[in-house]
């Protein structure tokens, strides 16, 4: 029997006894019994009431203790954020309460545990996604090509500095904005839109029958004006797909190919110029050799003349090839440069000795104004010799008979440079031609009859002075009055 039932039964018995005592006492009083007999009845009644109260108090205390125990344990669980089981000593009814309560707590604990582990999993996933996002952004930001990423609503969601600079937008203010309002290049906006809408097609692979998204990837040549200069870009546009194979956006990568195109054009021009330049002396050699073989040079004088022409053309061919090789070695960086302390004056003096006979033939006065050798430069002696010889030989070539060529060296201590100047009183170069004379194979139209040449000498000089020795080559010229070519190189401290 449970405590409540027992207490109930005892209370009922006591209340019945009390009621009987009360009835007895009242009946005694009515029937005129002695006062003490009535008093006894009231005493029994009082005793029974007191006993009933005592039993109720004990019962209430039991219940109170148990309820306090339960709430204390629940409070502790709440404080520790740990769901455990209730441990209650006591009567059967309370055990009956704690049973379901504990079952309920177990369910909550299991659910709580599950939610906690799911939460942990989500936190890990979120951290991984955050790290991956940062990683992807770092990759995108480190790319030198312009990268723009849009979502399926054609809104900008990512772009790098190169794209900001090229398109003139600010990423911070452009995020989640439609590309219409961000990119002021109608063609690019159209390309991004087209790529997104043409998206992909689901295809079945023959072997497994899996349905796989086929990515659309377009590469188009696109011209963008940069500060008034048109630049050519290879725009690669690809769709970003969800795992379900839906288009979630577009990635546009713009690679500047302006320089590559220029180089490719230069290469094509170079090859065609080289072939043309090689063919001219070769055809000449071939023609004179055939004439000799056909016996067209009957006398010794003509034969000698033909031989000299062939030798001259062969020389030209070899100069041409030598110059081409030197230029391409310097341009490709495979040239061997032997830098050593040397005197510019000394090297210029040597070249003048070599050029003197050429000047004498044309009755040209060759004047030298060379400073004494105090300062040294650190340079490749052979290359500097070749540069000075080319400039002096040009000055003689393009100066009519009886003219003057002056070669001087000086030192500008303030700027720390040694200077070499070659001045002639020759035909000069027109202002329209002047910017081109360092280009490969460029020859001033009117000068071709005056002297033979390859159009490579000045290109080589510029490479030797500027690319190899970090010096500076410059020219001033006036038609029919003459030219001055000068270069400067740093002196050794």
Work out which of 444, 465, 468, 489 binds ligand ADP, going by CB under 6 A.
Answer: 444
Task: Tell me if 471 contacts ligand ADP by CB under 6 A.
Answer: no
Q: How far is the CB of 395 from ligand ADP (least distance, A)?
A: 5
Work out which of 41, 249, 457, 471 binds ligand ADP, going by CB under 6 A.
Answer: 457
Angle CA 68–74–80, to nearest 5? 135
By CB neighbour count within 10 A (0-12 exposed, 13-18 middle, 19+ buried), where does 54 fall? exposed
Q: How far is the CB of 442 from ligand ADP (least distance, A)?
A: 6
Q: How far is the CB of 339 from ligand ADP (least distance, A)?
A: 25
Task: Tell me if 167 contacts ligand ADP by CB under 6 A.
Answer: no
Q: 319: which residues sit within 8 A by CB, 6+ positions away? A: 454
Q: How far is the CB of 388 from ligand ADP (least distance, A)?
A: 13
Strand stretches in 177-269, DSSP E: 200-204, 211-215, 217-226, 229-241, 247-256
Q: Mask 93-132, x = binds ligand ADP (CB under 6 A)?
A: ----------------------------------------
3-state secondary structure of 426: coil
User: Which of 80-88, 262-270, 285-293, 426-434 is the region at the interface with ligand ADP (rule: CB under 6 A)?
Assistant: 426-434
Nearer to ligand ADP, 69 or 400 (CB): 400
| Cα–Cα distance for residue pair 57/40, rounded to 1 Å | 25
Task: Tell me if 359 contacts ligand ADP by CB under 6 A.
Answer: no
Size of the site for ligand ADP (CB under 6 A): 22
Q: 168: which residues sit within 8 A by CB, 6+ positions away? A: 184
Work out which of 189, 254, 419, 458 binds ligand ADP, going by CB under 6 A.
Answer: 458
User: Which of 41-49, 106-114, 241-249, 420-428 is the region at the interface with ligand ADP (rule: CB under 6 A)?
Assistant: 420-428
Q: How far is the CB of 399 from ligand ADP (least distance, A)?
A: 7
Q: What are phi and psi of 309, to 5 degrees?
A: -65, -45
The two structure tokens encoding residue 141? 């930001």
Q: How far is the CB of 456 from ligand ADP (least distance, A)?
A: 6
Q: 101: which residues sit within 8 A by CB, 6+ positions away? A: 70, 86
Task: Tell me if 317 contacts ligand ADP by CB under 6 A.
Answer: no
| Cα–Cα distance for residue pair 53/66, rounded to 1 Å | 20
Nearer to ligand ADP, 174 or 408 (CB): 408
Strand stretches in 314-462, DSSP E: 339-342, 365-369, 377-380, 404-412, 417-424
The two structure tokens encoding residue 199? 């998206």
Nearer to ligand ADP, 424 or 488 (CB): 424
Q: 182: which residues sit within 8 A by CB, 6+ positions away? A: 156, 167, 169, 174
Q: Pick left, alpha or beta for residue 140 (phi over 0 → left; psi -120 to 50 → alpha; otherwise beta).
A: alpha
Task: Tell me if 310 contacts ligand ADP by CB under 6 A.
Answer: no
Looking at beta carbons, which residue is closest to ligand ADP?
453
**H-helix segments, 362-417:** 381-397
| CB neighbourhood size of 423 (10 A) | 19
Q: How far is the CB of 358 from ligand ADP (least distance, A)?
A: 13
Nearer to ligand ADP, 45 or 464 (CB): 464
Nearer to ligand ADP, 73 or 483 (CB): 483
| Cα–Cα distance for residue pair 303/425, rounded to 1 Å | 37
Work out which of 146, 224, 247, 456 binds ligand ADP, going by CB under 6 A.
Answer: 456
Nearer to ligand ADP, 114 or 369 (CB): 369
Nearest to 247 by CA among 173, 302, 207, 197: 197
Nearest to 328 by CA among 274, 386, 272: 274
Question: Of residues 373-412, which lie at the interface with ligand ADP (CB under 6 A)?
Answer: 390, 394-395, 398
Nearer to ligand ADP, 163 or 320 (CB): 320
Work out which of 222, 375, 443, 462 binds ligand ADP, going by CB under 6 A.
Answer: 443
| Cα–Cα distance for residue pair 358/366, rounded to 1 Å | 10
Work out which of 18, 41, 453, 471 binds ligand ADP, going by CB under 6 A.
Answer: 453
Q: How far is the CB of 279 from ligand ADP (least distance, A)?
A: 17
Task: Tell me if 425 contacts ligand ADP by CB under 6 A.
Answer: no
Q: How far is the CB of 165 from ligand ADP (least distance, A)?
A: 39
By CB neighbour count within 10 A (0-12 exposed, 13-18 middle, 19+ buried), where does 26 fall? middle
Residues that bind ligand ADP (CB under 6 A): 390, 394-395, 398, 424, 426-429, 437, 442-444, 447, 453-459, 483
């Amino acid at each position: 029997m449970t405590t409540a039932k027992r207490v109930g039964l005892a209370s009922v018995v006591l209340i019945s006894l009390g009621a009987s005592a009360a009835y007895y006492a009242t009946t005694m009083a009515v029937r005129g019994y002695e006062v003490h007999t009535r008093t006894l009845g009231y005493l029994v009644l009082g005793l029974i009431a007191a006993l009933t109260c005592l039993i109720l108090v004990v019962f209430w205390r039991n219940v109170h203790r148990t309820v306090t125990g339960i709430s204390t344990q629940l409070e502790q669980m709440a404080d520790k954020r740990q769901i455990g089981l209730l441990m209650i000593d006591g009567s059967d009814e309370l055990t009956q309460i704690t049973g379901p309560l504990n079952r309920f707590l177990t369910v909550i604990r299991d659910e709580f545990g599950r939610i906690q582990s799911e939460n942990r999993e989500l936190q890990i996933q979120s951290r991984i996604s955050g790290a991956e996002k940062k990683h992807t952004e770092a990759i995108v930001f480190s790319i030198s090509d312009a990268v723009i990423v849009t979502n399926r609503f054609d809104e900008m969601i990512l772009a790098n500095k190169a794209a900001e600079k090229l398109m003139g937008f600010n990423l911070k203010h452009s995020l989640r904005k439609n590309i219409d309002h961000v990119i002021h290049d109608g063609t690019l906006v159209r390309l991004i839109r087209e790529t997104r809408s043409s998206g992909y097609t689901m295809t079945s692979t023959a072997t497994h029958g899996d349905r796989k998204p086929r990515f659309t990837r377009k590469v188009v040549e696109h011209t963008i004006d940069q500060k008034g200069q048109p630049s050519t870009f290879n725009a690669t546009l690809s769709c970003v797909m969800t795992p379900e194979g839906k288009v979630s956006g577009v990635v546009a990568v713009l690679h500047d190919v302006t320089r590559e195109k220029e180089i490719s054009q230069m290469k094509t021009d170079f090859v065609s110029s080289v072939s043309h330049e090689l063919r001219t002396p070769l055809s000449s050699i071939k023609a004179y050799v055939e004439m000799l073989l056909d016996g067209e040079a009957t006398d010794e004088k003509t034969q000698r003349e033909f031989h000299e022409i062939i030798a001259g053309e062969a020389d030209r061919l070899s100069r041409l090839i030598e110059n081409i090789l030197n230029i391409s070695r310097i341009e490709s960086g495979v040239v061997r440069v032997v830098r050593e302390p040397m005197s510019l004056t000394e090297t210029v003096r040597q070249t003048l000795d070599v050029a003197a006979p050429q000047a004498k033939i044309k009755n040209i006065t060759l004047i030298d104004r060379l400073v004494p050798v105090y300062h040294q430069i650190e340079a490749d002696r052979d290359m500097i010799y070749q540069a000075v010889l080319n400039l002096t030989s040009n000055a003689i070539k393009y100066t009519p008979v009886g003219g003057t060529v002056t070669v001087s060296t000086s030192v500008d201590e303030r700027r720390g440079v040694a200077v070499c100047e070659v001045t002639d009183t020759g035909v000069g170069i027109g202002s329209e031609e002047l910017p081109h004379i360092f280009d490969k194979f460029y020859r001033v139209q009117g000068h071709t009859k005056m002297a033979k040449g390859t159009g490579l000498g000045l290109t080589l000089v510029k490479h030797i002075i500027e690319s190899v020795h970090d010096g500076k080559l410059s020219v001033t010229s006036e038609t029919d009055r003459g030219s001055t070519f000068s270069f400067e190189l740093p002196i050794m401290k």
